[in-house]
Amino acid sequence: MNSPHEKVVQAILYGHSCAKRLKLWLEDPMADDRSVSSYDLAKSIVHCFSNAISILSDQPKSEDDQVSDLSSMDSSPPLPHSKRRKINSTNSTKNWRDDSPDPYNDGFLWRKYGQKSIKNSKYERSYYRCSYHIDHDCGARKHEQQIKENPPVYRTTYFGHHTCKINHNHDAVFTAVQDQVDDAGSCRIIRFGKELDQEKGSHSTGFSLSVKHEESIIKEETCTDQYRGITGDDKDCQHVMEENQSSLSSSYTPPLSSVSETDMFDSDLLLNNLDSWDRYGLFDFGVH
């Protein structure tokens, strides 16, 4: 299992690769693949570094402690006599926070369950839980609150893990880096694909990338080929990909304690994959 230090290094490495791409973009806007906008690259860099910062600032405990805390936080049902689970502020070390100009679309389906005005803040805070919280007993939640305007900045705080592992969108950096943070997922292939945003009320970042397991590589590549080969319209393949992902996701049960070595975030593999996908013109940062 990677140490927090290694995770930070990996996040920074990925940010570095994006920065290099941005540099190339700026140096020669006419060359190479122009499907990646400078904005998307800049955004991915920001996300990488904010994740690195997040990991560093959340680091006082050993990783094993964090994982056990997280698993207990996620999977254990609320205490019988405590109908409402209260977030202990001292547990904030297990949360993941993101400040973004637009509320972050992390690729998961969320259902809003509350909204409150917060003292000393003129903006209300919205409360979301994973839409699969019943079906898959998924304990993931998030709070979203605007903290600034002009330009608007929204703070999204994530609590717990997605045990559902049903990802409806492929937000590259978030997914990749969050998987590092989670240690629950693996990163075998990273692909920048069309925006798959079907999420109701979601806020598209337009930066799409999926993180796959080894066993799904072939399926995914096949689908991508179909996607690229058959049509420029994303709808059809989007459907196929969602189905694939859905079936893959549903068969995937990631026990937190058994994350294998091969499941660790491999920045070299990731960068290599970025390059190869890029070479084949498979970068495509959604937003249109």
Partner DNA sequence: CCTATTTGACCACC
Partner DNA sequence: GGTGGTCAAATAGG
Residue ranges that bind DNA, judged by CB under 7 A: 78, 81-90, 111-116, 118-120, 125-127, 129, 131, 141, 143, 159, 200-201
For DNA, give the closer residue by CB, 148 or 279.
Answer: 148
* Residues 226/237, Cβ–Cβ less than 8 Å: yes
Measured in Å, how far apart are the chain's first and last C-alpha atoms?
38
For DNA, give the closer residue by CB, 119 or 288.
Answer: 119
For DNA, give the closer residue by CB, 125 or 219.
Answer: 125
Q: What is the nearest approach in angstroms of DNA to the Cβ of residue 75?
A: 15
* Residues 36/165, Cβ–Cβ less than 8 Å: no
Q: What is the nearest approach in angstroms of DNA to the Cβ of residue 84?
A: 4
Q: What is the nearest approach in angstroms of DNA to the Cβ of residue 95?
A: 10
Q: What is the nearest approach in angstroms of DNA to the Cβ of residue 164?
A: 13
For DNA, give the closer residue by CB, 15 or 103.
Answer: 103
Q: What is the nearest approach in angstroms of DNA to the Cβ of residue 214?
A: 31
- Copy the structure tokens of residue 13: 């490495």
**DSSP labels for the chain?**
---HHHHHHHHHHHHHHHHHHHHHHHH-TTSS--SS-HHHHHHHHHHHHHHHHHHHHT-SS-HHHHHHHHHHHHHSPPPTT-SSPPPPGGGGGG-EEEEESS----SS-EEEEEEEE-TT-SSEEEEEEETTTTTS----EEEEEEEETTTTEEEEEEES--SS---SS-BHHHHHHHHHHHSSS--SEEE--------TT------B-EEE-GGGHHHHHHHHHHHHHH-S-HHHHHHHHHHHHHHHHHH----GGG--GGGS--HHHHHHHHHHHHHTT-------
For DNA, give the closer residue by CB, 36 or 166.
Answer: 166
> What type of residue sits at position 227?
Y
Place of tokens 């694909």: 193
Q: What is the nearest approach in angstroms of DNA to the Cβ of residue 217?
A: 31
Q: What is the nearest approach in angstroms of DNA to the Cβ of residue 123?
A: 12
For DNA, give the closer residue by CB, 61 or 111.
Answer: 111
For DNA, give the closer residue by CB, 92 or 276.
Answer: 92
Q: What is the nearest approach in angstroms of DNA to the Cβ of residue 113?
A: 5
For DNA, give the closer residue by CB, 5 or 116.
Answer: 116
